[in-house]
Structure 1
């Protein structure tokens, strides 16, 4: 078992989640049950799956949860791009958020590869 609170990828994904919450506060009220909900749920999913996977006894199980976290990252990537397309976030914010997300994807993928 791993101590998830000590994992840099968990810390970074948790901070990213907080950032998503701050960004989506500015979305239109009509998106409360649309993109806001989807983005927030996917952002919470990443550190949550890292934490849940860390509790597993085998590295194979942990790797499976990291794969789910990566899937949530790609889900968010699409939602962030759509948010920019719809004018809910500007180009600069979109670029910065996607760069942070790419870092999390790379960190998670690299960590996952060490579990084999």
Structure 2
């Protein structure tokens, strides 16, 4: 059965989703209980926001309206990096785990930036035709 085209088909969403899943499985479980409502909560919210904003942007009709959600997602992914740095500094995660997640975050940002720039080029091409 063929799946309809949705935001799930976007590479930027797929990478952010994988990042979110790995954070839950490999990072937040290492935090002490004292971080339950602090760093853990912030990291979970940022990772959820990254995928949710891509999904919401995809669901919007107008380029400018959808684009602001992609920028929000980019901000959330950057926030994840800050939280991962904090987790490393507090020694909740090892330097190796930090490097793994930093690489995932950078890849997510690169792909999302590429998608944003692609949409911008397409918008410019379309608006020049009209």
Taking structure 2 as the reference length, what is the TM-score of the superposition? Answer: 0.85
Report which stretch shifted further, 14-23 or 93-102. 14-23
Pick the structure with greater CA Rg: 2
Q: Displacement, 1:72?
A: 0.5
Deviating beyond 2 angstroms after TM superposition, the runs of 4 or more aligned structure 1 residues are none
Cα contact 1:39–1:79 (8 A) shared by 2:
yes
Q: Which one of 19, 35, 40 corresponds to residue 44 of structure 2?
A: 40
Runs (5+) with no aligned partner, structure 1: none
The 5 A counterparts of 1:1-116 are 3-22=6-25, 23-116=27-120
Aligned mates of 2:51, 2:109 — CA distance in 1: 12
After superposition, the C-alpha distances for 1:50-109 in whole angstroms (9 at most, x for unaligned) are 000000001222211110000001111111101100000000000010100000011111
TM-score, normalization: structure 1? 0.95
Say which is worse superposed, 65-74 or 55-64, in terms of deviation. 55-64
Question: Could you say what the CA RMSD is over the residues aligned between the two structures, in angstroms?
Answer: 1.0
| Alpha-carbon distance, 1:3 to partner | 2.3
Listed as ranges, the gaps of 5+ residues in structure 2 are: 121-130
Q: Give the length in aligned residue pairs.
A: 115
